[in-house]
Amino acid sequence: MTGDALHRLSLRRTLIVVLLAGVFVGGIAQAWMTWRSSEAAVNAAFDRSLYGAIRAIDANVSTDSGGVGVELPYVMFELFELTASGAVFYRVATEDGLVEIGSPDLPMPQGPLATRQPYFETAMYVDGPVRIGTYVRPIERPLTNQPGTRLVIQVAEDLSSRKSFSRQFIWSAVTRDLLLALFAAGMVAAAVTWSLRPLRQLRTEVQSRAPDDLSPVETARVPADVLPLVEAMNQHVFRYRDLLAAQRRFLDDASHQLRTPLATLLMQVTFAQREPDAGKVREALQAIRVQLKHTIRQANQMLALARADASSDQPTAPVDLAALARGVTTRWWSAAREGGVDLGYEAPAGPLLVSGRAELLEEALSNLLDNALRHTPAGGRVTVKITPGPGTACIHVSDNGPGIPEDELPRATERFFRASNAQGAGSGLGLAIVQSIVRRHHGQLHLAREPNEGGLRATLELPLHKG
């Protein structure tokens, strides 16, 4: 299965499969440990019973007569055989084998035996396996000529009763663990299903929305683990809503601003077609040419504004602001000479880097220069100046034209706004374009009266590049 196929798996199914696999493996491990511990507990219980029989025999061993004698309590022994539910064998002997009572062929444990410490082992005897308990102790009254001789007491029981009880006990414990594992599996499935219910509700809410409903998703009842995803969705909705608003604004602006010029062009063309006088036809064509230039410039500015509004997610790069301003100013020198305006440039030595998109910053500076040259009379001055600041770099474009009245400066960046003292044709989009571009670069646009020349001073303040 490929990585994409794995990511397309149901989250509910994946959680249930993974968690149930953990429950299954844990249940098997628990059953195995229960089996081993139960088996050890059963053997310990039966071995204690076997050791009790050894101690009962030991209590009835006597060496007073100079030999070894056993007064075996047959009632007790029969009770032990009844408890063991099978054959029981015993052996009482000296360690050297000179005295043997009971079943002399019961096998002894391998290796040396510690005094007064019981040993238990399973061995083959007669027709099948038996459990043998062995106990060794010193003889209180040593036999004649045999000092240091120890007494060996052994009791063996058939394993059928032990195995039957062990199977019953172990299966009871394992069955309990399996039932608990099944209960845990059911709880896991129910918990996963219940925990993912908010996601299903969220899906239902989103699917039931109208196509034009771009309101954010309500986060009051969203689980904390899913909240970052829902917030990211809401941010995407906000960006999409802003994009649609920008598109609607562009369409409204285009329909509002181009309808009148196009209607004027149609009237002028109709007049030129009907006019028999060649001179008036040329005048009409000249008027059409002027109107077309104005309409083209207005359309270009609206397209530039639309590009600036939609450029927030575009990547940025270090831009040498001084070199960019010098290049843009150089391209406007010919237009300044045609209008009889002195266009100057001032900048400090060395590069001055900001983060942004060079084509948008060039568009912003070009609009400032176009406005300044358009409203500065012949013989006037326009100056482009670059200054560094604390963490910022500034482009100043100042002129000695009529400027903008003080009370109208706050509205100067509104779309299609033209100052009350403006002369000539204009769309009122230049400063709006500059404002949009500066905001996209996390900067500020400052408009003020030029203190020395009396015209307009526009300042673009941009943050320096953090490299």
DSSP run (H or E) holding 184: helix 160-195
Q: Are residues 364 and 458 in the same domain?
A: yes
What is the rounded CA–CA span in Å between residue 20 and residue 164? Answer: 33
Which pLDDT belongs to residue 421? 62
Per-residue confidence band for 424, with pLDDT thresholds at 50, 70 and 90: low
Is the domain of 302 the same as that of 329? no
pLDDT, mean of residues 213-225: 75
Same domain, 132 and 263: no
For 9, the token pair is 């798996």
> Kindly report the CA angle at 265 between 260 and 267, in degrees rounded to 5?
95
Per-residue confidence (pLDDT) for residue 251, from 0 to 100: 67
Q: Above 60 in pLDDT, residue 230?
A: yes
Largest CA distance in the chain: 165
Residue 217: pLDDT band with limits 50, 70, 90? confident
Domain end among 151, 167, 183: 167
Q: Does 406 lie in the same domain as 283?
A: no
Question: Same structural domain for residues 291 and 413?
Answer: no
Assigned domain for 71 exists? yes
Residue ranges of E strands in 113-259: 119-125, 128-138, 150-158
Summarize the confidence of residues 205-225 as an average pLDDT: 76
Between 237-241, 335-339, 386-390, the lowest mean confidence (pLDDT) is in: 237-241
Q: In terms of domains, do 289 and 368 share one?
A: no
- Give the per-residue pLDDT at 66: 61
Together in a domain, 300 and 337? no
In-domain check, residue 223:
no
Question: Does residue 211 belong to any structural domain of this protein?
Answer: no
- 304 pLDDT band, cuts 50/70/90, is low
pLDDT at 245: 76
Question: Highest-confidence range of 188-192, 222-226, 290-294, 459-463, by mean pLDDT?
Answer: 459-463
Residues 376 and 412 in one domain: yes
pLDDT of residue 83: 60
Q: Is residue 427 part of a domain?
A: yes
CATH code, domain with 245: 1.10.287
> Phi then psi for 92, rounded to 5 degrees?
-125, 125
Q: 354 has which bridge partners?
A: 319, 464
Q: What percent of the chain has pLDDT over 90?
A: 8
pLDDT confidence bin for 278, thresholds 50/70/90: confident
Task: Assign 138 to helix, strand or coil.
Answer: strand
pLDDT of 14 reads 75
pLDDT in tens, 46-93: 888 888 888 888 887 777 666 677 666 565 556 565 565 667 888 888
Segments forming the whole domain that contains residue 242: 228-309
pLDDT at 15 over 80: no
Q: What is the pLDDT of residue 324?
A: 92
DSSP 3-state of 94 = strand
pLDDT tens per residue across span 325-371: 999 999 989 888 988 999 999 988 888 899 888 888 888 888 888 88
The verdict on 247 and 367 lying in the same domain is no
CA 413 to chain centre: 41
C-alpha torsion angle, residues 139, 140, 143, 149 (rounded to 10): 30
Q: Tell me, what's the pLDDT at 2?
A: 52
In the chain, % of residues over pLDDT 70: 80
Does residue 173 form part of some domain? Answer: no
- Is there a single domain that holds both residue 329 and residue 265? no
**pLDDT at site 413:** 77
> Which pLDDT score, from 0 to 100, does residue 165 have?
78
Compute the average pLDDT of residues 397-426. 75
pLDDT tops 60 at residue 158: yes
Q: Which of 251, 285, 309 is the last residue of a domain?
A: 309
Are residues 376 and 264 located together in one domain of the fold? no
CATH number of the structural domain spanning residue 437? 3.30.565.10
Q: Is residue 455 part of a domain?
A: yes
For the question of whether the overall pTM of this predicted structure is more than 0.75, the answer is no
- Judge whether 385 and 398 are in contact, CB under 8 Å: yes
Same domain, 330 and 303: no
pLDDT of residue 189: 80
pLDDT of residue 134: 92
User: What is the DSSP pairing of strand 381-388 with strand 342-346?
Assistant: parallel
Q: How many domains is the chain partitioned into structurally? A: 3
- Report the C-alpha gap between 316 and 31 in whole angstroms: 62
Averaging pLDDT over each range in 124-128, 205-209, 259-263, 323-327, which range is the top one? 323-327
Q: Give me the pLDDT at residue 396, please.
A: 92
Residue 384 pLDDT? 92
Classify strands 119-125 and 128-138 as parallel, antiparallel or unpaired.
Answer: antiparallel
Return the half-sphere exposure (C-beta side, CA atoms, 13 A cut-off) of residue 259. 6
Instruction: Please give the mean pLDDT across all residues of the chain.
Output: 79
Q: How far is 213 from 205, CA to CA, in rounded Å? A: 12
Final residue belonging to a domain, choices 122, 139, 167? 167
Does a structural domain hold residue 243?
Answer: yes
Predicted confidence at residue 147, as pLDDT, reads: 61
- Within-domain flag for 413: yes
144 or 353: which carries more pLDDT confidence?
353
Here the CATH number for the domain that contains residue 67 is 3.30.450
